[in-house]
Amino acid sequence: MTAILQVETVTRTVDARGSFCPGPLMELIRAIRESQVGDVIAVRSTDKGSKLDIPKWVEKAGHRLVSLDAREGYDEIVVQKLR
């Protein structure tokens, strides 16, 4: 069986490190609203809640969670706008 690797190119990176108010999820919502369907957005967050909050919102809002990775000192969450 051949694995199909789907590589997404990040359209926009949102550096929300150190953001408590409005916070990384709000920054992602802003970026999603300013983007086109199909765009891929990477959010960088130092808020420990983001890796739970963001996937929850992405599912509810009908977008796609591409990846979630722990980097040095922050998390990077990549989301594709689907609608």
Residues that bind other proteins (CB under 8 A): 14-27, 29-30, 32-34, 49, 53, 56-57, 60-62
Q: Which of 17, 78 has the CB closer to other proteins? A: 17
Q: Which of 1, 62 has the CB closer to other proteins? A: 62
Query: Nearest approach, Cβ of 2 to other proteins (angstroms)?
Result: 36
Catalytic residue list contains 21: yes
DSSP state of 79: E
Buried b (16+ CB within 10 A) or exposed e, 9-46: eeeeebebeebeeebbbebbeebbeebeeebbbbbbbe
